[in-house]
Every structure is written in C-alpha cells, then in structure tokens.
Amino acid sequence: MTVASQVKQTLASLKGVQGTLRIYSTQTQDEETVSVFQEALETTSAVINDLEKRLQVLEYQEPQYKGN
Amino acid sequence: MPMWVQILYRSIALFIVVVAVAQILGKRNLTRIPPYRFISYQVIALIAALISLNVIKEVAFGLIALGVWVLFPIALDYLSLKSKRFHDLINGKERVLIKHGKIMEEGLMQTRLTGEELLRELRSKNAFNLADVEFAVMETTGEINAFLKSGKKPVTAHDLGVKTAPQAEPQTVILDGNVLNEPLASLGLNKEWLRIQLENMGVSLDNVFLGQVDSSGDLYLDLFDDAIELPQPKVKEMIYANLEKAQASLETFALETNDKNAKAMYKKNAQKLKLLMDKLNPYLLR
C-alpha cells in the first residue's frame, strides 16, 4: 500500500466517524452533550481538511497511484 | 326490602364512596404517613364497614361521621401547608438520635426507642457498624434515616474525579407491539425514524415487546421471540475505536514522512485527535 492510499483510508474512517457524530449531535437531547459533539465535529473537520491537503500533495508527487 | 338486598345496596354504594375518598385523601405512601392520618384511615374503614353491614341503621348519621373523618385530615393537611408552626404541632418534629457519631440517649427516651430497635433500623439502612454513622434522625413518620461518615459513604463519580456524561431518563416508545406516539414526539422523533431503525435491525414492529430510546437517541429493543439475537447499539464504541485507529495512523504517518511540514501537520492533528478522544471518552464509552 502506498502512503497516499493509507492516508486515504484514514481519511475515510475519519469521515465515517464524523458522519456518526453528526447523527448523534442531532438526536441527542442533552444540550451539553450536543455541544461536545459539535465541538468534536469541528475538530474532525479541521483534521480532515489538513489530511485532504496533504493528500493532494501526495497525489501530485506520485501521480501513478492517483485514484487508488 | 329484605335485609340482604339492603346490605347489598349499602355495600355497593359505600364501596364507591370509599374508593372516591381514598382518591381525595391522596396517594401518599401508606407506610410513611403521620399517626393522625393512620388513625383517620382506620376510622373511615370502620365506619364504612359498620354502615355497610347495617350496624348503623341511619345512613345519614354514618355519612356525617365519615365526612368528618375524611374532611378533617384534609383540612389539617392544608393548614400545615400554610403554617410551619401548625405543621410541627400536628406532625411533631424530627428527632436527632445520633449526632457526631454519638447516640443521644435523651432522643431515644423521647421517641421511646430501645437500643436494639435503633440498631435494627440502622442495619436496614446498611449501617451495620455504629462507628460508621455520623448522624441519624427519626423522621416525623417514624422512619430512621442515617448519614454515614464521609469515608464510609458509597463512592460517586464525583469522588473519583471522573467526568460522566449527563443522562436523561429513557423514553419507552414501543410497548406490546404498539408505538407510543407521545414519548416519541417528546424526543423530537417520529414513526418514520422508528420504522427506519427497526428496518436496520431487521425486526418487525409486532415482534417487539418493549422499545426504549435513551437520551443519546439509541434504541434498545426487547423482542417476543427471545431466540433472535439483536445487535445491541455499539455505535458509540465504534466511533471511539475508529478515532483511536485514525489517531494511531496519524502518529505512524508523522514518523514515516520525511517532509518537515507534513511531519508537523501529522503531529499536530494526532495531538488534536488525542485531546478529542479524552473529551469524548465519557460520552462515548460510559
């Protein structure tokens, strides 16, 4: 597995986490919990952004693996 | 009218009256009522029995007596609600039996409680050792409550310094295969949501005996058919596990890469996820 695909895998699982967190942040009743989940959403978004940028660089460096 | 018909009529009528009276007198726990209420219950029961068996020939007389014994306790309740002094007069005051770990003998005398009785009551409060009790009081209802020494109290999450997620009461949304709309609506959910959840679990509604939604919106089901194993919600644990995995991957990337900027970026984000996991731990794992 190349670095790019490893990063992609991590990115995918983080996005999965984010989606589930989003579900919980909408269906939870307690406001404190909701705010914790929302904060978590922001953090994961930031991490996902950074990873996506890095992925672009990686794909530019190893174009032969693009799309894997 | 033959006697037996008379008794039948009276009994039926009085039964209805007594049921109504019991409603009026309130739903307080019968083992924790002040003595005057206990007496009034007894007298009411007795009068009702006497009227019903035709011992009191004149129904009106019986009803007068019954009315007094019903209305006076209610009046006393209202008065003691309004005035603290009246309340103390009627109900008496609670008596301290143990203070700073020492038995107050005069308190025992006043309540006419023997040492054995005190110990028995304390044992029923799980205080087997007198040395563990800091403070004990006899309530006006005769119940004894004990306050344990700080070192002997059950440990709470607060004592351990553990953060716990706030949890509201779960709502029962399915009972006996029927959807209960009101609790569902109070959670801001609807039947459609429930239908999707059931579909995801592969269960039909009429197979569900009981369904509860906890405060985080997870559905717990109990089925009529106990042979079916249901996947119980483990989604939160999954999120946490996935976060853990992603965090570990980021650490690995940080070690593997030669690019200085990328290394810093991976490290920073791994740190971020670590903090996030610590923060989410009480919400996802407990």
Give the rounded percent of residues in chain B with a pLDDT score beyond 90. 19
Q: What confidence tens digit (pLDDT) does each residue in B29-64 have?
A: 777 777 788 888 899 999 999 988 888 888 889 889
CA distance A3 to A57: 11
pLDDT at A64 over 80: no
Element (H, E) at B208: strand B208-213
B223 CA to chain A: closest CA distance, Å? 24
User: Which structural domain, as residue segments, surrounds residue A26?
Assistant: 3-65
Residue B46 pLDDT: 92
Q: What is the pLDDT of residues B199-225, one digit of tens each?
A: 988 888 888 899 998 888 888 888 888
- Count Cβ atoms within 10 A of the Cβ of residue B170 and give its class: 0-12 exposed, 13-18 middle, 19 or more buried: middle
Interface touch B166/A29, C-beta < 8 Å: no
Return residues 29-58 of A near B (CB < 8 Å).
Answer: 29-30, 32-33, 36-37, 39-40, 43-44, 46-47, 50-51, 54, 57
pLDDT band at B247 (very low <50, low <70, confident <90, very high): very high
Residues facing B99 on adjacent strands: B102
B166: which residues sit within 8 A by CB, 6+ positions away? A30, A32, A33, B215
Would the CB atoms of B253 and A29 count as touching at under 8 Å?
A: no
Number of domains forming the structure of chain A: 1
- Long-range Cβ contacts of B43-47 (<8 Å, 24+ apart): B43/B69, B44/B18, B44/B69, B44/B70, B45/B18
pLDDT at position A68: 52
Q: How far is B232 from chain A (nearest CA, A)?
A: 16
CB atoms B168 and A54 under 8 Å? no
pLDDT attached to residue B286? 65
State residue A41's pLDDT score.
92
Number of H helices, E strands in chain B: 11, 8
